[in-house]
Structure 1
Amino acid sequence: MKLKLAILAVAFLSACTAPITEVPLRHGAGLALPPMKKFTAPRVVAPARSNAAIAEDFLNLSFMMESGRAIPYLTRFEGPVQVHVAPGAPSSLHSDLGALLSRLRREAGIDIDRTQNRDEAQIIIEALPHKELQRLVPQAACFVVPRLNSWAEYKRTRRSSTIDWTTLKTREKAAIFLPSDVSPQEIRDCLHEELAQALGPLNDLYSLPDSIFNDDNFHTVLTGFDMLILRAYYAPELQNGMTRSQAAQRLPALLARLNPGGAGRGIGPSSPTPRAWIDQIEVALGPNTTSSRRKAAATNAVALASKAGWRDNRMAFSLFAQGRLSLSTDPELALSSFLEAGRLYGARPGMEIQKAHVAMHLAAFSLSVGQFDSALAVINANLSPVAASENAALLATMLMIKSEALEQLGRTSEARAVRLDSLGWARYGFGSDAEVRARLNEIAALSPRRVVQ
């Protein structure tokens, strides 16, 4: 289940304390938007952790639900897997699904394809209006359930044990429900996570720095680690109905075969993540609560992470959340939180996309106080991992900041070219033309008002 934890928001940027234009610079007004851009060639990076750590991750992902309930048996589909998309899905879903299925066949070795026949399908994907999903499952942006064939069936059985994953000994059918009226990127992100969970692990772990199986939402498409987990999930060494201890006995040899580069690496398993910290993070970045309660929860998360002695991505994420939620009330705390989060993310390999999220905020600070060269340098240093992670929304935002910095430095033709590039990515990342123009105006409003001599 993909939780509604908001990682990328741009409206908050105007909370920076430097003077901004009283009226937004309406670069978007009347601007003809270019065609939508899409990523075509995934850049897959092998996991950097040891096979011993990956084995522990596999067990925690596969034999535990997000709620903390134990899953008694490993379950998966037997034989070829057919996926059916119910009528009414956006066109972008079909093209993104084709690319994802190709990756699953190539990188995870799963025999999976599409079918037009709903009755033949093991996995049904149904797209529904966002409000309809939220009405029944307000905490989820999208989700997957076992044994079902349709949304109508889910509404009838949602309070029964029919959709209890812990009662399975094998997988025969699953239904994925995702929103139909959000941006193409949001639909794609849901597609990646929910299809991966329909096929394999059901848990999310905040300790994972390089995985979509993490509710921090930094990774938006399946990573090299995720594909390795799925390849192991469907390897002949494992079978339906295995217990955790049985799977644990097979994993060392299995991972040695699939990931020989993981032998003897020094990055070992992470310490367990206590429920108390998870609860604070979910309050801090979840919906339907007050800003003061969110900020208090982020402060508590930082305190719990510090008490646990973490210096990993969980401590950095706590600081990132604190920075996000302190922008409007305590900009000095926000800046110090972002700086420390960026330092922690930069201290370990494989966390470049997390560092880039922090960099976007730091660049926005620089832009808001007139440090245009600094904003430009921060953006340029972090564009590559954003493109590699296929995050069009973040890429568009960073390019908009870069364009505004170039504009303020008098490099008008460069600014225009970068702005045009940003708009193509924004159409995929943000969706509607109105939303794209609004984002562009929000970035323009960050720049200090020019003084006419």
Structure 2
Amino acid sequence: MRMFPAVAALSLILSACSPAPVAQVTMNRPAQAMSGTALPPLQAFAPQAAPAAGRSNADIARDILDLEFLLESGRALPALSRFEGPITVAMTGDVPATAPPDLARALSRLRAEAGLDIRAATTGAPASITIDFQPRATMRRLVPSASCFVVPRATSLAEYRALRGSPQVDWASVTRRDRVGIIVPSDTTPQEVRDCLHEELAQAVGPLNDLYRLPDSVFNDDNFHTVLTGFDMLVLRVHYDPALRPGMSRQEVAARLPAILARLNPAGEGRASAGGTNMAPRAWIDAVETAIGPRGSDAARRRAAERMLSIARAQGWQDNRLAFSWFALGRAQVGSDMAAASRAFLEARRIWQGLPGGDIRAAHVDMQLAAFSLAQGRFAEALALSDRAIPVVRRAENAALLATLLMIRAEAQTALGRPDLAKSARLDSLGWARYGFGTDAMVRARQSDIAGLAASGRSG
């Protein structure tokens, strides 16, 4: 399940900025004029394979067991479940124009990198997995906290609504998967649609849990990673390894994992364990939902972030959860104490720099710090921070974050008296912004926010 709102939704520029309007529909129409200039076409990332998982096999084995045998609620699953044989995928409902090519790219990666026998279903034929696109408001009436989700033995939101609460849609009753539904909003940004396709396809075919401790995975509700990673592809290869079979218990899978991982990921055999593999207590998860969620006051979010950090320290964590606690605290302090927010972000960045997969998280911090620098008139510093983050963000395929960084670069170049470089960065940002933010209004709002920061820096 992909939770809403995602940290990667980029609502963090500065709380003093005017809020961006809610996205209306996925953009699938010709570009319209904006400030006298036609928007360029949506940009698309070039196909690329993810870097291999960079952690010890001992840690990966523990992660896989907790992903496979727990639900996100913390409820234990009795047995391994998976598809047997070829997997087919179909789309129904109000399918956005960007969804078919993004699905094709995701399926191609799953075949090449995870070794899955998965492809689009023949038109009109029954599918193993059906992706049902429905209006966000309709989805939230049924599952308010999710931006997209996956269900067993149902192929549509309507069918899930009729079966909800019954054993038929209880994952604990499933060992051999045959029909799975993925419910995705039809009226959101192209990037969110793609992100949902990656995460929910991974859960439809593989493990069902998310773990906040994972620094290098989409199986994590912090949503920093937006497309499938090398770790995720390894998890799916393990999930479908011939040494495993549906119905196996946790103990049976645990006994086979060392040999499977030694064969599939020999580089992980020589690495030392990083530790910190205990499960996050419910109190910390509840604090996350308050600190990052859309409801509640700024003071409530700050108190929740402080609880996150206190629990993380008490648990002795040195992993992604400690860094995320610092990040949440920085986020909560943006509007009230910029210096304290900067210190918290820098502490998060320090931890993330030492974790596999932490580079995209560090890039989020750099974006936040670049925005601070822009607002305070430190334009060369804003440029250096954005330039450091942009290559990482391109590799991570986060169009919304990339567009934001390019807009910061453009404003910094303008303030430094380099109009040609500013124009190039601004034009580059717009195609990514259309994919990442979805509507002309959202693109305009993000440009206006960042231009406002630069104006504050020039007048300060």
Kindly state the Cα deviation for residue 170 of structure 1 after the two structures are TM-superposed: 1.2
For the pair 1:386 / 2:413, whether they are aligned, the reply is no
Question: What is the SS of the residue equivalent to 1:297?
Answer: helix
d(CA) in 1 for partners of 2:4, 2:458: 41
Q: Count residues in correspondence.
A: 443
Shift of 1:153: 0.9
Say whether 1:235 aligns with 2:244. Answer: no
In structure 1, what is the Cα distance between the partners aligned to 2:308 and 2:158? 39
Residue 136 of structure 1 deviates from its aligned partner by 1.0
Indicate how the Cα distance of structure 1 residues 440 and 51 shifts in structure 2: closer, same or farther if over 3 A, else same.
same
C-alpha distance in 2, partners of 1:10/1:75? 35
Indicate whether 1:209 and 2:228 are aligned: no
Equivalent position of 1:159 in the other structure: 165
Which of 288, 307, 312 is the equivalent residue of 2:314? 307
Deviates further, 442-451 or 407-416: 442-451
Cross-structure match for 2:5: 5
- Amino acid in the other structure paired with 1:55: A
Partner of 1:375: 382
Looking at structure 2, the residues matched to 12 and 235 of structure 1 have their Cα atoms a distance apart, in angstroms, of: 41
Deviation digits for residues 44-64 of structure 1 (CA, Å, limit 9, x no counterpart): 111111111111111000000
Alpha-carbon spacing, 1:450–1:306, altered in 2? closer, same or farther (3 Å): closer
Q: What is the aligned counterpart of 2:409 among 399, 402, 408?
A: 402
SS state at 1:86 partner: strand
Matched letter for residue 199 of structure 1? V
Match of 1:185 among 159, 182, 191: 191
Distance in 1, Cα, partners of 2:126 & 2:211: 33
Q: Structure 1's 115 and 238: CA in aligned 2 closer, same or farther, altered over 3 A?
A: same
| 1:142 match | 148
Shift of 1:379: 1.0
Cα distance change of structure 1 residues 33 and 406 upon mapping to structure 2, 3 Å threshold: same
The answer to whether the 8 A contact 1:5-1:215 is kept is: no
2:57 aligned with 1:51, yes or no?
Answer: yes
How far, CA to CA, are the matches of 2:45 and 2:12 in structure 1? 27
| 1:178 alignment partner, SS class | strand
Question: Once structures 1 and 2 are overlaid, which stretch shifts more, 268-277 or 253-262?
Answer: 268-277
- CA distance in structure 1 between the aligned counterparts of 2:8 and 2:154, rounded to whole angstroms: 33
The 1:366/1:43 distance shift into structure 2, 3 A limit, reads farther
Who is 2:107 aligned against? 101
Runs of 4+, deviation exceeding 4 Å? 9-12, 449-452
Indicate conservation of the 8 Å contact 2:376/2:457, yes or no.
Answer: no
Partner of 2:303: 296
Residue aligned with 2:222, SS: coil
1:14·1:445 contact (CA, 8 Å) conserved in 2?
A: no
Change (3 A) 1:196 1:375: same
Task: Compute the displacement of 1:268 (Å).
Answer: 3.5
* Aligned mates of 1:433, 1:86 — CA distance in 2: 26
Structure 1 residues 282-302: Cα deviation after superposition (integer angstroms, max 9, x where no partner): 121123333322221111001
Residue 346 of structure 1 aligns with an amino acid whose one-letter code is Q
- For 1:365, the equivalent position in structure 2 comes to 372
Cα drift, residue 437 of structure 1: 1.3
Q: How far does residue 179 in structure 1 lie from its aligned partner after superposition?
A: 0.5
Quick check: 1:302–1:318 contact (8 Å CA) kept in 2?
yes
Deviation per CA, 1:250-300: give whole Å up to 9, x if none: 111111111111112024443312222111111211233333222211110
The superposition leaves residues 281-329 of structure 1 with CA deviations (integer Å, 9 ceiling, x where unpaired) of: 1121123333322221111001111112222211110111111111112
| Amino acid in the other structure paired with 2:338 | P
2:329, 2:458 → 1: CA distance? 34
- Percent identical residues: 51
The answer to whether the 8 Å contact 2:305/2:325 transfers is yes
Gap change, CA 1:148 and 1:414, over 3 Å in 2? same
- Deviation of 1:348 after TM superposition, in Å, equals 3.1
TM-score, structure 1 length as denominator?
Answer: 0.94
Higher RCO (Cα < 8 Å, 6 or more apart): 1
TM-score (ref. length: structure 2) = 0.93
Gaps of 5+ in 2: 18-32
Amino acid paired to 1:262: G
Equivalent pair of 1:10/1:442 in contact (CA under 8 Å): no
Aligned-residue CA RMSD (Å): 1.7
